[in-house]
Amino acid sequence: MTGTTTRIAPLQKKDAPAEAHKVFDFWGEQERWENGSATHISMTLAHHPDLALAYYNFGKHVMVNSTLPLRPRELLTLRASYLLKGDYEWHYHVGYALNLGMSLEEIAAICTGPDAPSWNEEDRAVLRATDEFINGARLSDETWATLGKYFSQKQMMDLLFTIGNYVMLTGALNSFGVQLEKHADKIGYDLKTASGKTPAPALKPNEK
């Protein structure tokens, strides 16, 4: 991402081995059989189909089948992306958060973190859990107890594994040097796009 050259270039469809087609097919994108995936992340991971499919099955749980409600999922994903400077995930999840009804002001407060005055107790606990997980690999007793007021045990397990997912994914994408697609109007951490337009809501790969 920022300051990183591309180390593993997206796979070209013409060079793709047969097993890579399972990667292109995973999210059900249109024209995947003719052109491969439209995303640089899938075309990069397609260099290693076994790894890509194993990760995507886990990622589908995190993104689609998780017991954790959508709002805290986006809060922690954006906070992790901001802390780890995950430009790729930040760009897309800003759109997903807007699609959930979050405001640009709320998303801007994610950059400030759990101490921003606008958060309620639940949102603050989710953001603090993200900070503690990333900075110390352990949640404090206080944060754990606060989360327990709002989430079931399964939801808290999903919450932690979702944070861990984005730590792993961001580290991989940043280290591979995966860049945003050419058509993307990059959204910065100041919530300004490269073209100067206001960021718009966006659908996830599994949404219509």
pLDDT, one tens digit per residue, over 73-106 is 999 999 999 999 999 999 999 999 999 999 999 9
Q: Which residue has the higher pLDDT, 14 or 53?
A: 53
Residue intervals of the chain classified under CATH 1.20.1290.10 are: 69-176
pLDDT score for 37: 87
CA 63 to chain centroid: 9
| pTM assigned to the model | 0.94
pLDDT score for 3: 53
Integer-rounded Cα Rg, in Å, for the chain is 17
- Judged against a pLDDT cut of 80, whether residue 173 lies above it is answered with yes
Q: Are 127 and 119 in contact (CB under 8 A)?
A: yes
- Judged against a pLDDT cut of 60, whether residue 2 lies above it is answered with no
pLDDT score for 204: 83
Q: Are 75 and 127 in contact (CB under 8 A)?
A: yes
d(CA 114, CA 125): 7
Which residues are 187's β-sheet partners? 193
d(CA 83, CA 85): 6
Would you say domain 69-176 falls under CATH 1.20.1290.10?
Answer: yes
In this predicted model, what pLDDT tens digit does every residue of 43-68 receive, in sequence order?
A: 999 999 999 999 999 999 999 999 99
**What average pLDDT does the structure give for the chain?**
93
- Judged against a pLDDT cut of 90, whether residue 171 lies above it is answered with yes
pLDDT score for 33: 63
